[in-house]
Structure 1
Amino acid sequence: MEKQTIYLAGDSTMADYQPHSYPMQGWGNKLHLFIPDSVRIVNKAVCGRSSKSFIEEGRLEEILQMIKPGDYLFIQFGHNDSKEDAERHTSPWSTYHRYLRQYIDGARVKGAHPVLISPLCRRHFDVDGLLINTHGDFPRSMEALAVQEKVHFIDLCGRSAVAFKEMGDAKSREWLTWLRPDEHPNYPEGIEDNTHLNEQGAEAVARMVADAILKLNLNFG
């Protein structure tokens, strides 16, 4: 019997990475640690994609060709939907909904279960040490659509924001790709990245998602 499958559709914060990018990791790479062995995870997230560009590149259609009744489609976009280029840009209360509905409807037509996941919070603190919302209306808009369409929703933006606030500016760097020059051969000049997780952060965020899955009582196995 073919395994039940979770398909991941999203951006760089969810995606798998090649070894030359290590220790940068997407949380989708670590989700298997918290999911029953009876469930397969297929990570189709791609760096730099928005809800729009993922579809227009044929990536959603690729998933829909494989997905089967009882599978899940986890959908996380928002980081790149706010970009200004025409290939990726969506508006939170109009075109963002229009594209997200294509994921929802596509999964449902195949008898699969869509799950909307708000974008991972960026680690962006102001001079007073307060966390800044860099995603605008996208997280709230996604939650509103989830209610409207009666879709399971995981507020990863909210959950990760709480974690970053609790850790504070300095401690929260431990979850992101922050490296001093020559600390790692993949980043000889160092890196200070407030968006992309490292291995520790990817595992922590995957645990957040798994905890939310448990609370939603999703039917696995």
Structure 2
Amino acid sequence: MLTRVAVSLFISLGAYAQTVFMAGDSTMAPGGGGSGTDGWGQYLGQFLTIPVVNDAIAGRSARSYTDEGRFTTLTSSVKSGDFVIIEFGHNDGLSGTTDNGRQDSFGDSLTATTTVTLANGTSAVIHTFNFYMQQAVTGLKAKGANVIVSSQTPDDIWTGTSIGAPPRFVQYAKEVAGNNTGVAYVDHYAYVAQAYDKLGESAVDPFYPIDHTHTLPAGATVVAEAFVRGLLCGGSALSAKVNAAGKAVPNGCV
């Protein structure tokens, strides 16, 4: 995984015409959730012919990534032709009486809002997951970026011999992609679930040493492979940048 500084140097030397940027939470981020875990974004670069910059940050949601100005910074960094993968959902659920700074307004409307009470006792108006994602997509497309909306990954929670049903944010991510011409969608949840179901619960459980969300590097690699399989099956322009190792990742289209 290259740093921003290294990527900038290689671009200035003419080594790379395009870069992949990643925006997401701890399941994608360097260091994952700590204690030896790591995000899948750290393992994507080995399957591509262009560099990857992992801007995922642990603990973030579509809302908090927006509120902290991280989408603004990302948008200012990309150039026309770059790729941006956006994947949120794990931290976007409702937080209860006191707002946690991450929850989104319930539902998928682009106009619905909710007034919440912050930890300091003041109030704030928040928007839906789709609203924050749409804002990001609009800004990135205006810069000429190739945007890929990816659904969140599954937790290590099983129903019988299969990973459980997806949460609502998987459908929301699909809607955001579908509402924007030229934006690709990868159902990362479905492709990881496919990989996990084939491996079986006894093989997958050891990927998760601290909870049911954060993976060790071995698990993160499986999750990265699943994304690549979804990329190849989905027709994104980034699929043309998948190398031989990426084309050989396991499983088929779902």
Any gaps of 5 or more consecutive residues in structure 1? Answer: 179-190
**1:163 counterpart letter in structure 2:** A
Percent identical among aligned pairs is 30
Of residues 43, 47, 50, the one that matches 2:58 is 47
Q: Is the 8 A contact 1:23 1:177 kept in 2?
A: no
Any gaps of 5 or more consecutive residues in structure 2? Answer: 1-13, 110-127, 242-254
1:99-178 to structure 2, matched below 5 A, reads: 99-126=132-159, 128-133=160-165, 136-150=167-181, 151-174=183-206, 176-178=207-209
Q: 2:237 is matched with which residue?
A: 218
- TM-score (normalised: structure 1): 0.84
CA distance in 1, matches of 2:15, 2:107: 37
Structure number with greater CO (CA < 8 Å, separation at least 6) is 1
Other structure's SS at 1:68 match: coil
- TM-score (normalised: structure 2): 0.73
CA distance in 2, matches of 1:77, 1:21: 18
Q: Is the 8 A contact 1:103 1:114 kept in 2?
A: no
1:27-106 to structure 2, matched below 5 A, reads: 27-36=40-49, 39-84=50-95, 85-90=99-104, 91-94=106-109, 95-106=128-139
CA distance in 2, matches of 1:118, 1:57: 21
Other structure's SS at 1:74 match: strand
Following TM superposition, the consecutive aligned residue runs of length 4 or more in structure 1 with deviations greater than 4 angstroms are: none
**2:48 counterpart letter in structure 1:** I
Q: 2:28 is matched with which residue?
A: 14
Question: CA shift at 1:130, angstroms?
Answer: 4.8
CA distance in 1, matches of 2:187, 2:132: 19
1:214/1:163 CA distance change after superposition, 3 Å: closer
**1:28 counterpart letter in structure 2:** G
Other structure's SS at 2:177 match: helix
Of residues 204, 210, 214, the one that matches 1:196 is 214
Per-residue Cα deviation, 1:150-194 (whole angstroms, up to 9, x for no partner): 3200000111122222333222113x232xxxxxxxxxxxx3x21
**1:23 counterpart letter in structure 2:** G
